């Protein structure tokens, strides 16, 4: 994995222009591993890895048994990827990793609450989609073969936690938040390894993962640019919750600008 530590915000815009079609994920701490919320939860609270599959399956089963009480169309729970996306949307630990097709949305999520160096990861999804990158251990497991939107594929290729593969894409139907954020998901076949380690097992002539470190010193300049681009919590999280979450940036960006103007 190549790493670029930015000297300024303009360098981020120049670099991401070269990564056309890639997917991006922002994390507010450059030291955090690139892994799912489920991976972190299992590692921290379920020490016996032999139980991980049963625990994950039970969590999904419990959600399916109870979530129908709050849904206008509970039939979506039968679709594995849509069910996991719904769980993720409402804060449950899942194996999905949120990515976005917009490097600027990723930068916002990385920087909004960052107090030190943040990071944006860029994933070469075109290479994965077009099978220019394949797992060395089992090259027949291409993106189309393991597609979790196909009934039965989650059970066969993901819940077993034995296939070191990645799939990226969206459910067949996207909710408003996923649309607003230009969102996409990355689904790992194993949850005991970070994405970097899984990609190390892929064969490709292309770079598959690029780490872009955003030093704390460029945060204010970057946040001002993102604000001008209307990338805020209010635009990324449609509804009153997003508006309320956006007030922090309003305090930081707008009021500091007004004070300087006086």
User: Does one domain contain both 73 and 99?
Assistant: yes
Q: What is the mean pLDDT of the chain?
A: 92
User: Does one domain contain both 188 and 250?
Assistant: no
Look at residue 227 and tell me if it is in a domain: no
**What pLDDT, on the 0 to 100 scale, is given for residue 254?**
61
CA 7 to chain centroid, in Å, comes to: 25
Token digits for 243? 């508006």
Look at residue 194 and tell me if it is in a domain: yes
CA atoms of 18 and 239, how far apart (whole Å): 33
**What pLDDT, on the 0 to 100 scale, is given for residue 86?**
94
Average pLDDT over residues 195-199: 97
Q: Number of folded domains in the chain? A: 2
Cα torsion angle, 84, 86, 88, 91, sign:
negative
- Each residue of 128-172: pLDDT tens digit? 999 999 999 999 999 999 999 999 999 999 999 999 999 999 998
Residues spanned by the domain of 242: 232-262
Comparing CA positions, the residue from 262, 214, 252, 260 lying closest to residue 103 is: 214
- Each residue of 86-110: pLDDT tens digit? 999 999 999 999 999 999 999 999 9
Token digits for 217? 């010193």
Phi and psi based region of residue 218 (left: phi greater than 0; alpha: psi -120 to 50; beta: remaining): alpha
Look at residue 225 and tell me if it is in a domain: no
Find all residues with CB under 8 Å of 109, minimum gap 6, and list them.
25, 26, 27, 28, 100
Comparing CA positions, the residue from 149, 184, 183, 142 lying closest to residue 166 is: 142
pTM over 0.85: yes
Look at residue 68 and tell me if it is in a domain: yes
Look at residue 173 and tell me if it is in a domain: yes
Look at residue 27 and tell me if it is in a domain: yes
Residue 115 dihedral angles phi and psi, to the nearest 5°: -115, 0
Average pLDDT over residues 69-98: 94
User: Does one domain contain both 135 and 246?
Assistant: no
Token digits for 201? 């097992």
Q: What is the 3-state secondary structure (H, E, C) of the chain?
A: CEEEECCCHHHHHHHHHCCCCCEEEEECCCCCCCCCHHHHHHHHHCCCHHHHHHHHHHHHHHHHHHHHHHCCCHHHHHCHHHHHHHHHHCCCCCCCEEEECCHHHHHHHHHCCCCCCEEEEEECHHHHHCCCCEECCCCCCCHHHHCCCCCCHHHHHHCCCCCCCEEEECCCCCCHHHHHCCEEEEEECCCCCCHHHHHHCEECCCCCEEEEEECHHHHHHHHHHHHHCCCCHHHHCCCHHHHHHCHHHHHHHHHHHHHHHC
CA atoms of 261 and 75, how far apart (whole Å): 55
User: Does one domain contain both 212 and 236?
Assistant: no
**What pLDDT, on the 0 to 100 scale, is given for residue 175?**
84
């Amino acid at each position: 994995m190549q790493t670029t530590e930015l000297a300024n915000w303009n360098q981020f815009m120049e670099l991401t222009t070269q990564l056309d079609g890639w997917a991006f994920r922002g994390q507010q701490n450059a030291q955090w591993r690139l892994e799912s919320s489920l991976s972190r939860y299992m590692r921290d609270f379920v020490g016996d890895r032999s139980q991980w599959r049963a625990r994950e399956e039970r969590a999904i089963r419990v959600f399916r048994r109870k979530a129908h009480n709050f849904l206008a169309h509970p039939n979506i729970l039968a679709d594995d990827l849509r069910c996991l996306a719904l769980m993720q949307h409402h804060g449950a630990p899942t194996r999905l990793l949120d990515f976005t097709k917009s490097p600027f949305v990723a930068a916002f999520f990385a920087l909004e609450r960052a107090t030190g160096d943040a990071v944006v990861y860029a994933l070469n999804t075109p290479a994965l989609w077009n099978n220019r990158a394949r797992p060395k251990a089992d090259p027949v497991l291409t993106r189309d073969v393991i597609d979790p939107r196909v009934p039965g594929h989650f059970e066969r290729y993901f819940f077993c936690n034995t296939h070191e593969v990645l799939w990226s894409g969206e459910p067949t139907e996207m909710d408003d938040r996923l649309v607003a954020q230009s969102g996409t998901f990355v689904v790992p076949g194993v949850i005991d390894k970070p994405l970097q380690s899984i990609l190390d097992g892929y064969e490709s002539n292309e770079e598959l993962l690029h780490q872009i470190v955003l030093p704390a010193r460029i945060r204010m300049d970057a946040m001002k640019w993102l604000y001008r681009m209307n990338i805020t919590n209010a635009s990324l999280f449609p509804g009153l919750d997003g508006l309320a979450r956006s007030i922090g940036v309003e305090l930081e960006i707008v009021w500091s600008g007004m004070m300087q103007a006086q």
